[in-house]
Amino acid sequence: MKPAVFLSVLIAAVALAQTNDNERRARDIYKQLVEINTTDTAAGNVTKAADAMVARLQAAGFSKSDMQVIGPDPKKANLVLRWRGTGARKPLLLLAHLDVVEAKREDWTSDPFTFLEKDGFFYGRGTSDDKAMASQFVANLIRLKEEGFKPDRDLILALTADEEGGTFNGVSWLVNNHKDLIDAEFAINEGGGGNMRKGKYLTNEVQASEKVYQDFRLESTNPGGHSSLPVKDNAIYHLSEGLARLAKFEFPVQLNEVTQEYFARSAQVEADPKNATDMRAVARSTPDLAAADRLAAQVPYWNSMMRTTCVATMLEGGHARNALPQLASANVNCRILPGMSPNSVKDKLVEVLADPKISVSFVGQANPSPPAPLRTDVMTTVESLTKQMFPSAVVVPVMSTGATDGLYLRNAGIPTYGVDGTFGDMDDVRAHGKDERVGVKQYFEGLEFQYRLIKMLSSR
């Protein structure tokens, strides 16, 4: 072997060994996080997970004074780390939640709180939502620190509580009580990520917007009476006829910067040529409404991307088998497009129900958040990394039809993007469900993707 060849082989071998060390460490952190129960139950404790990460980061040379474990409840503390950069640019916030949805041993094939590697997958509660991302953040910051990296902006890591529910939402608490700790030019969060089907990498989503959650209570009341003497004026009939009208109603198709771009780019990887043509027709500045209807009828997700939706989710009525009902009520759950006011949705419901005997009222208060602008630095970085690492995948911006903690940050003026290089099978989503898992190969690819992403976004 010539010396030059030998040297390059040696360098490659050293790089590989380091990569493996980084992978081993990330896996250890991932395992540790999954095995700490962070559910919102008596057995769960988010603070324990936060403390464990502090110990890891401290051992890697981060100073304890740059880390805080704080929160409104002893079991629901959030970890906030600030890695001081040169200050050339405003900080970048890296956000992941530590809490997970409850998982019962009897519902699972194996113990949900024992990290298990089997048949090419990592199993355990939180493996996909959101402990893959949390462990990757910690492992990558440690790797960058070891490599002597100097970020040109502060890197803030926030690992938080109660994203999945519970009364101590970490992001909202931090925004309200310690905004200075997490204030950033923009944030990277869950909510985006790679989709594959039958092993083929198709899209890498950048989540930049979310629909707004709002429940309404519909109510019809009546003096009632003996059911042997019925009258036409009946609370159950009023409500059910109103609901039948609502069932036939659709809010108008309305696209925005994010969803238009979503359909335009998804057309590039859509397998069915008819759908691809319809997607392009919908993405035009004046969307083709017939094409929108065809797409909406096929895939609920596509429908939900194009319009506000309202659907009846609960129903109750009457108080005795032999009495005319005095009350009939329903819950209608709406997912409102950003920019549309909850009041205008309420007015529309009243109009569609078309019966003064049905009252409509808000349940809880909507928490609207503005879409994040599609920043070119974020989009071009994600695009170039996706091209390098997953050449068959197309980067698509998305509006989530559900909600994440990104909404609190966007409302606090911190544009937030769901970006994640860990691909998952779009036909096998197990977050919140049984036997949650992430592909071993995909986890390590996601680790490397995120490493490069953080590096590129904090150096020039």
Closest approach of Zn ion to the CB of residue 165, in Å: 11
Tokens of 191: 């909510």
Choose between 211 and 307: whose C-beta lies nearer to Zn ion.
Answer: 211
Contact of 36 with 49, CB cutoff 8 Å:
yes
Residue 155, C-beta contacts closer than 8 angstroms, at least 6 positions apart: 82, 83, 85, 91, 92, 94, 141, 454, 458
Rounded Cα distance, 218 and 10, in Å: 71
Stretch that binds Zn ion, among 177-185, 186-194, 245-253, 413-421 (CB under 5 A): 186-194
Contact 417, 207 (CB under 8 A): yes
The pair of three-digit structure tokens given for residue 364, joined into one six-digit string = 């809880």
Nearer to Zn ion, 129 or 420 (CB): 129
Q: Does 130 bind Zn ion (CB under 5 A)?
A: yes
Q: Which is nearer to Zn ion, 190 or 445 (CB)?
A: 190
Q: Which is nearer to Zn ion, 129 or 278 (CB)?
A: 129
> In whole angstroms, how close is the CB of 402 to Zn ion at the nearest point?
10
Pairing of strands 200-210, 225-226: unpaired
Q: Which stretch binds Zn ion (CB under 5 A): 85-93, 187-195, 214-222, 330-338?
A: 187-195
Segment lying near Zn ion (by CB under 5 A), choices 71-79, 189-197, 356-364, 408-416: 189-197
Contact segment (CB under 5 A) with Zn ion among 127-135, 200-208, 323-331, 418-426 equals 127-135
If the CB atoms of residues 40 and 190 are measured against Zn ion, the closer one turns out to be: 190
- In the complex with Zn ion, the residue whose CB is nearer, 216 or 417, is 417
Examine residue 347 and say whether the peptide bond preceding it is cis (omega within 30 degrees of 0). no
- Least Å distance between CB 94 and Zn ion? 14
Nearest Cα to Cα of residue 298 among 272, 265, 261:
272
Q: Quick one: 87 or 165, whose CB is closer to Zn ion?
A: 165
Q: How far is the CB of 328 from Zn ion (least distance, A)?
A: 36
For the CB of residue 171, give the shortest distance to Zn ion in the complex, in Å: 11
Q: Which lies closer to Zn ion via its Cβ, residue 306 or residue 398?
A: 398
* Nearest-approach distance from CB 129 to Zn ion, in angstroms: 4
Which CB atom, from 85 or from 170, has the smaller least distance to Zn ion? 170
Furthest C-alpha separation in the chain: 103
- Shortest gap between Cβ of 425 and Zn ion (angstroms)? 17
Burial of 255: CB neighbours in 10 Å, binned 0-12, 13-18, 19+: buried
- To the nearest whole angstrom, how small is the minimum distance from the Cβ of residue 444 to Zn ion? 20
Among 37, 76, 124, 129, binds Zn ion (CB under 5 A): 129
In whole angstroms, how close is the CB of 164 to Zn ion at the nearest point? 7
What is the rounded CA–CA span in Å between residue 117 and residue 125?
13
For Zn ion, which is the closer residue by CB, 129 or 436? 129
Q: Give the nearest distance from C-beta 130 to Zn ion in angstroms.
A: 4
Site for Zn ion in 267-326 (CB under 5 A): none
Q: In this complex, which beta carbon is closest to Zn ion, that of residue 124 or of residue 242?
A: 124
Nearer to Zn ion, 134 or 340 (CB): 134
Looking at 182-190, 198-206, 242-250, 314-322, which segment touches Zn ion (CB under 5 A)? 182-190
Binding mask 190-209 for Zn ion (x = CB under 5 A): x-------------------
One character per residue 136-175, x = contact with Zn ion (rule: CB under 5 A): ----------------------------------------
Q: With beta carbons less than 8 A apart as the criterion, state whether 396 and 205 touch.
A: yes
Interaction with Zn ion in 24-63: which residues (CB under 5 A)? none
Q: Please provide residue 411's backbone torsions phi and psi, each rounded to the nearest 5 degrees.
A: -70, -25
User: How far is it, in rounded angstroms, from Cα 47 to Cα 7?
Assistant: 47
Cα distance between residue 17 and residue 275, in whole Å: 46
Work out how close the CB of 422 gets to Zn ion at its nearest, in angstroms, rounded to a whole number.
Answer: 13
Q: How far is the CB of 175 from Zn ion (least distance, A)?
A: 17
Q: How many residues bind Zn ion (CB under 5 A)?
A: 3
**Binding letters toward Zn ion, positions 57-76, x by CB under 5 A:** --------------------
* The one segment of 14-22, 183-191, 343-351, 376-384 that binds Zn ion by CB under 5 A: 183-191
Residues that bind Zn ion (CB under 5 A): 129-130, 190
